[in-house]
Chain A
Amino acid sequence: MTEAPQLGQLEKHLRSRRDNGRKLLIPYVTGGYPVEDWPRLVEGCAEAGADAIEIGIPFSDPVMDGTTIQESSSLALAAGADPLDILGQVSKIDVDVPLIAMTYYNICYHMGHRRFASQLSNAGISAAILPDLPLEEAGHWTKAADAEAVETILLAAPTAPDERLVRIVERSRGFVYGVGLVGITGERSELATSALEMARRLKAITDKPVVIGVGVSNPQQAAEVSEVADGVVVGSAVIRRVLDSGNIDDAVEFVAQLRAGLDAG
């Protein structure tokens, strides 16, 4: 018999906020972009009302990402961003919400599963998202992550049949990341109908927090999908504001608007 896993720090935190009637907001920040200021952007997101923050560790070949996050990643890499350096800076960030690492599997594989897990843990990171590591391949990583109490958030996509969703939800820790559309990250003018459908399918089978990401682009869309889901991840729409302006102020202001949109429901 395997015992039900203890709730991790992130999941406890998100559950309690959700159970108090709050919709969850998880912005994404590319580690290393903008070069000097990205830790300030993380702090700004927390102050603007984020419930947790995803920090991307840039990878050379981000196949799940559209042009915005590709661009911020390559700018970070060109400026010399490296995973250990980013994690070192994360450990100095002072915020009162959980942090989540998002990167591609080769970064973890290359560092070694146990070392990567302990590096995340040492940096004060609660959870990890590895978008090219599906359930069937995740065993080595989840073993190492569980040992360090790093929660592994799995993605659930609209293309998954029902029986697969059940297995994903079962193994996901922290929350379940519902992919809002059939496609890669990037802003969209309309909320995909698949986003609501994804949220409904997941809510029907789990009590874990269900958060929808990919394609959620503005406060209206965030509020709309959160009528069914427990909250949203917003990445490209945040990062694009940094790319456009060259500083973090617009992005922080945008996160505050997302917060207001979600609170107004």
Chain B
Amino acid sequence: MTSTVSATNFMDDPDDNGRFGKFGGRYVPETLVPACAELEVGFREAWADQAFREEFEQLLQTYAGRPSGLTECANLSEELGFRILIKREDLNHTGSHKINNVLGQTLLAKRMGKSRIVAETGAGQHGVASATAAAYFGMDCVVYMGEVDMERQKLNVFRMELLGAEVRPAMSGSRTLKDAVNEAMRNWVATVESTHYCLGSVMGPHPYPWMVRQFHSVIGDEASKQCDELIGGAPDYVVACVGGGSNAIGIFSGFANSDAQLIGVEPEGGAAVGSAVPGVVHGSESYLMQDEHGQVLEAHSVSAGLDYPGVGPEHAHLADIGRARYESVNDREVLEAFELMSRSEGIIPALEPAHGLAWMVKAKEELAGKTVLLNLSGRGDKDVAQVQAIKAGDPAALSTMRP
């Protein structure tokens, strides 16, 4: 157990140019610059407005089901030789942390007079959350999803449609999350006057990385209080999977100024921070998987939600200043962790947070005797059919996997 005192604030707000250290900014087509500026002002005002904050908190409680619990994993702890706590974002309405951000953004969009939202989705969790909030607030909703992901996550496609959203396939490139973001941005360029782009992670142009972090900071706020109560302070390690990085930023924000080590876990085939090469795509300067000419590489991961070659700029910054550490795991390790948690705790995790556990298994020696908090960002229902197909040896289900 470690103390929670520190002089520096490691997760400050970005500067006036939307930068976390060197990273971030606002690299968008000129058409979108005024909308981003407006959104920044709108968010600043809303976030400073007590009434908005109360309405948001109210929604998180009565609609999303917060606060989410903190569960001690006694069986896993015994098996692995260190104390494991999990933050139960899987128990939120719609099954993942994504709902926090979406409720915040749709509430803001409504306040700013927008009648329509457009979103991208990888695993479908952000798309489902967006479709859910749009249904709740009576807004039109279009979700772009890579064609490959629509196949991997059929159930979520149907869910979105049930909720009244229109799901449009992204057919270019790798036909996964990166391409869904491209399509959503193109659509936003054309509809910016009526539409809010409900971006699903801590990425994109300023103010998104900051705004999305603030909407997810509830994860870290709750978890730090829960840890205080349960173990009398911060854990030794806080672990989260990183695609764009929203669930990780959310939980890190509660422990950035503690002595806890912060670990972000990327898939081996989508390790943007791991690549350590900076680049600019989808609105911000950050680490980016790219070839020697600056063409963005296609990520490959068993998990549709982490199948992304970029990462939010604040993660690049946290890596840069050494406040957080980024590790990677491969698909096979992830599938083992997926089954391990299911069998030992009776909790089927989503494939995304199974990355966190997979790293913990690999780092068993380093973690021996420590207390580790894992952000269980979502539940695995959406992944069950895919894992079943993989176990049955279906080559299609394996096609985007790395050995």
Complex: how many Å from CA A169 to CA B207? 25
- Is A136 a contact partner of B26 (Cβ separation < 8 A)? yes
- The reply on B261 being an interface residue by CB < 8 A is no
Segment touching A, from B186-194, B217-225, B370-378: B186-194
Contacts of A47 in B (CB 8 A): none
For the residues of B in contact with A, the DSSP-based class is mixed
Q: Provide the B263-289 mask, 1 if CB < 8 A to any CB of A, else 0.
A: 000000000000000111110010010
A159 partner, pick from B31, B182, B278, B281, beta carbons under 8 A: B31
Q: Which of A138-192 contact B (CB under 8 A)?
A: 154-161, 164, 168, 179, 182-184
- Those of B173-191 within 8 Å (CB) of chain A: 173, 178, 182, 185-186, 189-191
Do B295 and A168 have beta carbons less than 8 Å apart? no
Q: Which residues of chain A are near B162, meaning CB under 8 Å?
A: none
Nearest chain A CB to B38's CB is how many angstroms away?
10
B27 and A132 within 8 A (CB): yes
Cβ < 8 Å to A, chain B residues 283-301: 285, 288, 290, 293-296
Q: Does A107 contact B26, Cβ atoms closer than 8 Å?
A: no
Kindly provide the distance from the CB of A189 to the nearest chain B CB, expressed in whole angstroms.
16
Given A60, A63, A182, which contacts B295 in the complex, CB threshold below 8 Å? A60
Q: Are A161 and B26 in contact (CB under 8 A)?
A: no
Alpha-carbon distance A45/B186, docked complex (angstroms)? 28
The size of the chain A interface, using a CB distance under 8 A, is 42
- Chain A residues with CB under 8 Å of B34's CB are 159-161, 164
Which one of A59, A105, A183 lies within 8 Å of B189 (CB-CB)? A183
Cβ of B29 under 8 Å from chain A: yes
Contact of A61 with B281 in the complex, beta carbons under 8 Å: yes
Task: Please give me the residue from chain B that is nearest to A58 by CB atom.
Answer: B295
Q: Tell whether A109 pairs with B31 under 8 Å between CB atoms, given A183-B189, A184-B186, A184-B189.
A: no
> Considering only CB atoms, which chain A residue lies closest to B277 in the complex?
A110
B residues 18-55 near A (Cβ < 8 Å) are 25-35
Whether A137 lies near B25 (C-beta < 8 A) is yes
Distance in angstroms between the alpha carbons of A247 and B344 in the assembled complex: 63
Within 8 A of A (CB), among B55-78: none
Q: Which of A36-75 contact B (CB under 8 A)?
A: 59-66, 70, 74
Question: Contact at B186–A106, with CB atoms within 8 Å?
Answer: no
- Distance between Cα atoms of A111 and B295 in the complex (Å): 11
> Complex Cα distance A77/B172, Å?
13
**Are the CB atoms of A134 and B26 closer together than 8 Å?**
yes
Contact of A132 among B17, B28, B295 (CB under 8 A): B28
Evaluate contact between A168 and B31: CB separation under 8 angstroms. Answer: no
Give the total of B residues in contact with A, Cβ under 8 Å. 35
The answer to whether B182 touches A63 (Cβ under 8 A) is: yes
Docked Cα-Cα span, A82 to B294, in Å, equals 9
**B30 and A106 contact, CB distance less than 8 A:** no
| Complex alpha-carbon distance, A230 and B43, angstroms | 40
Q: Is the CB of B25 within 8 A of A132?
A: no
Q: Evaluate contact between A132 and B182: CB separation under 8 angstroms.
A: no
Q: A109-B294, A137-B25 are in contact. Are A63 and B185 (CB under 8 A)?
A: yes
Q: Is the CB of B31 within 8 A of A158?
A: yes
Determine whether the beta carbon of B173 is less than 8 Å from that of A60. yes
C-alpha gap A147/B233 in the complex (Å): 55
> A113 to B362, alpha carbons, bound, how many Å?
41
Q: Are B296 and A106 in contact (CB under 8 A)?
A: yes
Q: How far is the CA of A184 from the CA of B290 in the complex (A)?
A: 24
Measured CA separation A155–B31 after assembly (Å): 9
Our pick among A66, A106, A135, A164 for the contact of B280 (Cβ within 8 Å) is A106
Query: What is the distance, in angstroms, from B318's C-beta to the closest C-beta of chain A?
Result: 21
When the two chains form their complex, are residues A64 and B29 in contact, meaning their CB atoms are under 8 A apart? yes
Is there contact, CB below 8 Å, between A82 and B293? yes
Residue of B nearest to A116 (CB): B294
Listed by A's residue number, 10 A-B pairs whose Cβ atoms lie within 8 Å are A70-B172, A106-B280, A106-B294, A109-B279, A111-B293, A131-B29, A132-B27, A159-B32, A164-B33, A168-B30
| Contacts A64-B29, A159-B193, A160-B30 known; 12 new A-B pairs at CB < 8 A | A59-B295, A62-B182, A84-B293, A107-B293, A108-B294, A110-B290, A135-B30, A157-B31, A160-B33, A164-B34, A183-B31, A184-B186
| B interface residues, Cβ below 8 angstroms from A | 17, 25-35, 172-173, 178, 182, 185-186, 189-193, 278-282, 285, 288, 290, 293-296
Q: Which residues of A pack against B, CB within 8 Å?
A: 59-66, 70, 74, 77, 82-84, 105-111, 131-137, 154-161, 164, 168, 179, 182-184
